[in-house]
């Protein structure tokens, strides 16, 4: 492993690369100015997501919390990103270039992500190669844009994606080193991903449930451990580290749950059940054509008896009665959102270039090869953690895409996760193949 000073130097190299992307690269032509102030952003974006975030950030800066007239914003979004914007104003002033500051902050986080990802890759491939390979996801315009460029950084999800990925790779390091400290830090990062975007809270809930199922399976089926190279003590150590990781995340999320006086992370469910009961005509009359396009009213279309209703239990009963019809409806529209240009990130459909089609097919192939690769790496020491997180992540988004209306940017996190995930899986699988075909290993098998 490289020495501390070399790690620090590498961190700043990665930071410089990420910062240059954020400042100089523009994969989407029309983007806000780096030196835009938060006040001007509120005017520029109006009632959209970034405009609402800017409004809340100004309230937090001016009054310490949201005013009564803007309290609804915290019903729709968790507070992390808006608190960050408010604190930026506290430190740098009301006229500070908040977009530039956000890019600098996320560049620092991405540099940390590169370091922990590099360490995970260096277990199975040479360190010099891993140092370069961690940059590969940023060859793709989607990753550059959604994580670093001004037009996307104002949505805040870049922070959630980076926190989540860093938490996953740091957890693997914590398990390898049996480091309780790193497990707690990874858990805190996982919690931060939820504080910046609500769908990441659902990911945490899903990975927790699946972890509990794994534990029950391991201790109820004794033969399960034979599928892994881990002995009983190593397996129990990994389970303890994962349990600490999840405990830290849930404890860190407790203050917001207490604030809401409920287990709900945000309060959008009632609004969504209401929209799901509206007809296309009613939605279009409200000017919500984007909700029609995204299939928000699947329940009303699949079962007209739900039209006019806004009951959560009845919503899920419709799905239970017509699962095939429901999934067929969602499947018929999902392709348009998967095969999209990043020029469509703000909602307007943009025609696809030939390269857009090729790249989106590439992302889809990554998605499909993930599961064969998980089978190939099942004997790797960190296979349990990788399989658990990967299956949980995709299971969570399958739930989201089944019940929530589509938007173009909802698919970005899945594609970026797939890039990092498959890159690590291929490296582990390649190392396994190389090890199994080495002359020394062949001789050992003959003996």
- C-alpha angle 261-262-263 in degrees, rounded to nearest 5: 140
> pLDDT category, 333, cuts 50, 70, 90?
very high
Cα 160 to Cα 199: distance, rounded to the nearest angstrom: 10
Cα 49 to Cα 54: distance, rounded to the nearest angstrom: 9
pLDDT at 421: 98
Q: Are 114 and 67 in contact (CB under 8 A)?
A: no
Q: What is the mean pLDDT of residues 357-368?
A: 96
pLDDT at 445: 42
Please determine, for residue 191, whether its predicted confidence score (pLDDT) is greater than 50.
yes
Give me the chain's average pLDDT, please: 91
Which pLDDT tens digit goes with each residue over 210-225?
999 998 888 776 544 4
State percent of the chain over pLDDT 70.
94
Cα 174 to Cα 245: distance, rounded to the nearest angstrom: 9
Q: What is the mean pLDDT of residues 120-125?
A: 96
Which pLDDT tens digit goes with each residue over 393-446?
999 999 989 999 999 999 999 999 999 999 999 999 998 777 776 655 544 444
Structure tokens at 228: 């892994």
Which pLDDT tens digit goes with each residue over 124-163?
999 999 999 999 999 999 999 999 999 999 999 999 999 9
pLDDT at 446: 44
Please determine, for residue 349, whether its predicted confidence score (pLDDT) is greater than 90.
no
pLDDT at 2: 55
Please determine, for residue 29, whether its predicted confidence score (pLDDT) is greater than 90.
no
Quick one: which of 173, 198, 195, 199 has its CA closest to 185?
Answer: 173
- Residue labelled with tokens 């994606």: 161
Strand runs labelled E in 272-396: none
Which pLDDT tens digit goes with each residue over 41-55?
999 999 889 999 999
Higher-confidence residue: 187 or 379? 187
| Rg of the chain on CA atoms, in Å | 23
Note the Cα 276 to chain centre separation in Å. 25
Please determine, for residue 30, whether its predicted confidence score (pLDDT) is greater than 70.
yes
Strand, coil or helix: 341? coil
Structure tokens at 285: 């009359």
Q: Are 172 and 350 in contact (CB under 8 A)?
A: no
Strand runs labelled E in 136-220: none
């Amino acid at each position: 492993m490289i020495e501390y000073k070399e790690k620090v130097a590498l961190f700043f190299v990665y930071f410089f690369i990420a910062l240059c992307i954020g400042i100089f690269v523009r994969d989407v032509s029309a983007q806000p100015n780096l030196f835009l102030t938060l006040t001007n952003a509120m005017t520029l974006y109006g009632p959209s997501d970034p405009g609402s975030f800017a409004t809340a950030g100004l309230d937090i800066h001016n009054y310490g919390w949201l005013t009564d007239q803007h309290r609804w914003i915290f019903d729709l979004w968790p507070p992390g990103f808006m608190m960050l914007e408010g604190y930026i104003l506290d430190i740098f002033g009301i006229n500070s270039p908040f977009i530039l500051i956000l890019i600098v902050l996320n560049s620092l986080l991405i540099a940390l992500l590169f370091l922990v990802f590099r360490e995970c890759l260096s277990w199975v491939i040479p360190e010099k190669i891993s140092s370069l390979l961690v940059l590969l996801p940023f060859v793709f315009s989607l990753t550059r844009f959604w994580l670093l460029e001004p037009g996307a950084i104002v949505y805040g999800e870049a922070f959630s994606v980076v926190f989540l990925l860093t938490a996953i790779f740091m957890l693997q390091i914590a398990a390898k080193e049996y480091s309780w400290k790193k497990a707690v830090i990874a858990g805190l990062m996982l919690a931060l991903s939820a504080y910046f975007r609500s769908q990441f809270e659902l990911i945490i809930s899903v990975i927790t449930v699946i972890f509990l199922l794994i534990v029950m399976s391991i201790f109820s089926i004794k033969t399960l451990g034979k599928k892994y190279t881990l002995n009983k003590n190593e397996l129990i150590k990994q389970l303890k580290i994962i349990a600490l990781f999840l405990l830290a995340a849930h404890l860190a999320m407790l203050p917001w749950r207490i604030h809401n006086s409920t287990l709900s992370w945000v309060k959008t469910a009632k609004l969504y059940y209401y929209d799901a009961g509206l007809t296309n005509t009613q939605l279009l009359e409200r000017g919500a054509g984007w909700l029609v396009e995204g299939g928000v009213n699947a329940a009303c279309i699949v079962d007209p008896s739900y039209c006019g209703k806004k009951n959560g239990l009845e919503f899920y009963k419709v799905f239970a009665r017509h699962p095939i019809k429901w999934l067929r409806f969602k499947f018929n529209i999902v392709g348009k959102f998967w095969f999209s240009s990043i020029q469509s990130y703000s909602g307007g459909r943009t025609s696809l270039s030939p390269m857009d089609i090729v790249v989106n097919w590439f992302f889809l192939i990554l998605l499909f090869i993930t599961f064969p690769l998980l089978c190939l790496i099942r004997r790797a020491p960190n296979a349990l953690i990788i399989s658990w997180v990967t299956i949980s992540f995709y299971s969570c988004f399958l739930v989201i895409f089944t019940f929530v209306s589509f938007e173009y940017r909802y698919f970005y996190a899945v594609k970026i996760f797939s890039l990092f995930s498959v890159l690590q899986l291929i490296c582990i699988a390649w190392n396994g193949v190389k090890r199994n075909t080495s002359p020394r290993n062949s001789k050992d098998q003959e003996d």
